[in-house]
Structure 1
Amino acid sequence: MGTLSTSPAEITTSRLTDSHGRVIHDLRVSITDRCNYKCVYCRTGQVGAQFAELKIEEYLRLISLFVSLGITKVRLTGGEPLLRRGLLELVRELAQMRTIYGDPLSLALTTNGHLLDSLAQPLKDAGLHRVTVSMDAVDEPVFERITRVPGSFQAVLRGLRAAKDAGLDPVKVNCVLLRGFNDDQVEAFAEFARREDVIVRFIEFMPLEEDRLWSPEIIVPLREIVDRIHRVLPLVELPPNEASETARRYTFSDGRGEIGIIAPVTQAFCGACSRVRLTSDGKIRTCLFSQSEHDLYDLARSGAGDAELRSFITRTVDAKEARHHIGEPGFLKPSRSMVHIGG
């Protein structure tokens, strides 16, 4: 497949922005909604129908349009993206694209880590820069009770270490906390961050599940997490890497190790949001909690040229929501669950 790098004649001179003045530079692309785990907080009932996945060359065309409009970061998600046939080819082609500034794209991937042991080095060789692993417990029986897959804990641990060995740094570990479910893992995760030399990020549970009833009481808020860790391992807050960073960052008092806390419910960061999402079937989602989607792929399939598609993207992003409304009266869950939206 030929490289789909964006040529200077095809790029815009201004950044992609919404009507609230936010610069959108981060694209999340779900390349499958299939997953080899059945995590109890994500898929609590029968697995629903899968959505159609695009061909690799179709993802590349759509992503290149976003890049030509100012996207500088692309994160591949799922489902479980390591299940996707053609993943290495996709990464190789993306690694050849250039931003409107002439720099290589920043390429990352979010995975459950089960298949990462054998794929970490090939992904690095293909051009991937960073990897984030979803891991909701460091106690092996608890972890496997969550994933409902025997042997999953050791597989993910091997994958984490393989990613570090391959140089996919910094390796991040995302843990979704639910009170009464896995909130007893907080202190152990802090030790894990130091022992394995990974960045652990705790994420407040959001109403994105298939059929679990969300309530504010199930959230483990940022302040509680910080206080609990600080009692056993004193913390020092770090400055953000950039204005749109979603995590509050902390290191330990001796400077060894880092944790982050993503608090979209108790300390929403919508005002600095820089993200837009592309689902596995080619629809644009301007927010995790959008009630509508915008079918970019259908427009492309109908024969629209690149200029028309860029105009569609620009209009869609311009109408991006100001914020989510979690916990407010009348709040509606998004039109798809997280496994179909992409992480």
Structure 2
Amino acid sequence: MDGLGRRARDLRISLTQACNLRCHYCMPAEGLAILPREELLSADEVVRLVDVAVDQLGIDEVRLTGGEPLIRRDLEAIIAAIRTAHPEVPVALTTNGLGLARRAKELAAAGLSRINVSLDTVDRELFAAITRRDRLPDVIAGIDAAVTAGLAPVKINAVALQQNLDRASELLRWCLDRGLALRFIEAMPLDAEGTWDRNSYVTAADLLAALGEDFALTAVGREDAGAPAERWRVDGGPGTVGIIASMSRSFCGACDRTRITAEGRVRPCLFSDDEIDLRSILRGGGDDADLIAAWREVTWRKSPGHLPADILTHPRRSMGAIGG
């Protein structure tokens, strides 16, 4: 519980800040500095933090992120250990989809509950321009494999950009035809190169206007109060599209998330530079009470919300170094 009475029930743990794409809204062209393996949380440390979070801090959902979590060779082992200890807790994964075609079946067997795949466009040339890599066929193969493995509903995360706004309807149609749940996300000032522009980012209103030229959209609201995505029924349904309007329609008042970086620092908000090092407690012989005290301390300081877009500044860490 934070100082405003919000209970954190959704834990997001980054497993690495390395990534095999270079999306300009997240990564610099050369990538982020590679953390030595010993600086990353080990599989056992990840599982211990989840144990504490679920058993003693009220967490009831876990999401593994990055960087790109599929880079971790022990990902299936981490998922299996979490599900064995907490079979009632959903374990989700956010990935760019590269390598997913080879591992989707094993991830499902390990106990992965659901998966979100980042995909900003289905135009190959535009995909290469946004990600700085020509890998669209591999991502689509990964999505297909996730569906085949039963990781449904597969959700697609698309960052809304000036580059892809005129292709938004194309992506939505592609997802609807495949039974995929598409969510657009407003770009945030979390890019490593600091190029986000408060005067030109694509807002939820921009997206609704663009999609409304091709589809009839009916607002249906959020799945629950803490859900980040507002949803619209498309052409009467059953398909829907979601928009996560972090910048123009902040939902901070109902935020239920807490995040741990790949090197074990807990932070209550993407936009907050307030962190406490849990890895040092783990490796210094600290017990669960020590972890809980540190975790609660930073959570209690959680702010009411991030500043408005017109005055918000870049946090010290980029999205890739925090974990989505």
Q: Is TM more than 0.5 here?
A: yes
Distance 1:29 1:251, change over 3 A: same
In 2: Cα distance, 1:217 partner to 1:328 partner? 8
What TM-score does the superposition give when structure 2 sets the normalisation length? 0.95
Q: Structure 1 residue 338 and structure 2 residue 323: aligned?
A: no
Match of 1:8 in 2: none
The share of aligned pairs that are identical, in percent, is 38
Match of 1:105 in 2: 89
Match of 2:288 in 1: 306
Match of 1:120 in 2: 104
**Offset at 1:326?**
4.1
- Amino acid paired to 1:94: I
TM alignment of 1:195-234, pairs within 5 A: 195-234=177-216
- Amino acid paired to 1:159: G
What 5-or-longer segments of structure 1 have no aligned partner? 1-16
In 2: Cα distance, 1:81 partner to 1:205 partner? 21
DSSP-derived class of the 2:7 partner: coil
What TM-score does the superposition give when structure 1 sets the normalisation length? 0.90
**8 A Cα contact 2:184 2:242, kept in partner:** yes
In 2: Cα distance, 1:45 partner to 1:192 partner? 29
**Offset at 1:300?**
1.9
Match of 1:95 in 2: 83
In 2: Cα distance, 1:225 partner to 1:149 partner? 25
- Amino acid paired to 1:272: A
What 5-or-longer segments of structure 2 have no aligned partner? none
**8 A Cα contact 1:23 1:274, kept in partner:** yes
Match of 2:142 in 1: 159
In 2: Cα distance, 1:116 partner to 1:296 partner? 30
1:150-176 Cα distance to aligned partner (Å, 9 max, x none): 3x1111111111111111111111111
**Offset at 1:332?**
2.9
In 2: Cα distance, 1:128 partner to 1:47 partner? 28
Q: Structure 1 residue 57 and structure 2 residue 39: aligned?
A: no
- Amino acid paired to 1:211: E
Q: Structure 1 residue 271 and structure 2 residue 258: aligned?
A: no
**8 A Cα contact 1:193 1:257, kept in partner:** no
- Amino acid paired to 1:92: A
DSSP-derived class of the 2:103 partner: helix
- Amino acid paired to 1:93: A
- Amino acid paired to 1:60: V
Match of 1:20 in 2: 4
In 2: Cα distance, 1:322 partner to 1:75 partner? 23
**Offset at 1:193?**
1.9
**8 A Cα contact 1:45 1:210, kept in partner:** no
Match of 1:35 in 2: 19
- Amino acid paired to 1:257: G
DSSP-derived class of the 2:171 partner: helix
Residue of structure 1 aligned with 2:273, choices 267, 278, 291: 291
DSSP-derived class of the 1:217 partner: coil
Q: Structure 1 residue 77 and structure 2 residue 65: aligned?
A: yes
Distance 1:241 1:48, change over 3 A: closer
Match of 1:6 in 2: none
Root mean square deviation, CA, Å: 1.4
Match of 1:241 in 2: 223
In 1: Cα distance, 2:78 partner to 2:2 partner? 28
- Amino acid paired to 2:52: L
DSSP-derived class of the 2:76 partner: helix
User: Segments of 4+ in structure 1 off by > 3 A?
Assistant: none
DSSP-derived class of the 2:218 partner: strand
1:133-156 Cα distance to aligned partner (Å, 9 max, x none): 011111111112222223x11111
Match of 1:142 in 2: 126
